[in-house]
Structures are given as structure tokens and as C-alpha cells.
Amino acid sequence: MNTKIQKISSLFLVSVLILGCSAAAFAQNTPGYNNNIPESILTPDAVETRIGTLKFFDGQPDADTVQMVYDNLDFMRGVETFLNGMPAAY
């Protein structure tokens, strides 16, 4: 039983090392401290939504965006409370 655990753990270690080496081989570095970050994982500066435009700076929402989202959450909670109370009115 102990040898099975050793084989599994060594196989896991080898696979982690292979994955780590392959990830390092595909990394695209630019000169200096700057690395290429894929656009698909960056937070956009503005997002158009049903409640309005949400604005971000370095991935952080600005004060107007935070207020807009909290107002929307309050409204949604009010609607949910109203709809949950409808059966009691019958």
C-alpha cells in the first residue's frame, strides 16, 4: 500500500514539473519588468450594462459605479421582497 502512495505522489510531482516547465516555455516576456498580459483576462475600462456604464480604473470600480451597483442591488432586493410577499396577500 505504501509503494502505491509513493508511485502516485512521484507521478503527481513529475506531472507538476512538466506543466511548470511547459508554462515557462510559452511565457512571452518583454524587456524590463513588463510582461505581455492577454487582453482576455484584463478588466475593461468601461462595461455597458442594463443599469448604465460601469467604469473601472486598474480593475477597481470608481465611486459612481459602486453607488450604481449598490442602488441596483437595493432595487432588486425590494422587488424580490415584494414578489415573495405576494402569496401572503391572497
Per-residue pLDDT of the chain (90 residues; tens, 9 = 90+): 567 666 666 666 666 666 665 555 555 655 667 777 787 888 889 999 999 999 999 889 999 999 999 999 999 999 999 999 988 877
Q: Which cell numbers hold the place of 82? A: 415584494
46, 55 contact by CB (below 8 A)? yes
Phi, psi of 17 (to 5 degrees): -65, -40
Q: What's residue 13's pLDDT?
A: 64
Write down the number of H helices and E strands in the chain: 2, 3
What is the pTM for the complete model shown?
A: 0.54
Question: Given this model, what pLDDT does residue 14 score?
Answer: 61
Confidence at residue 38, expressed as pLDDT on a 0 to 100 scale: 80
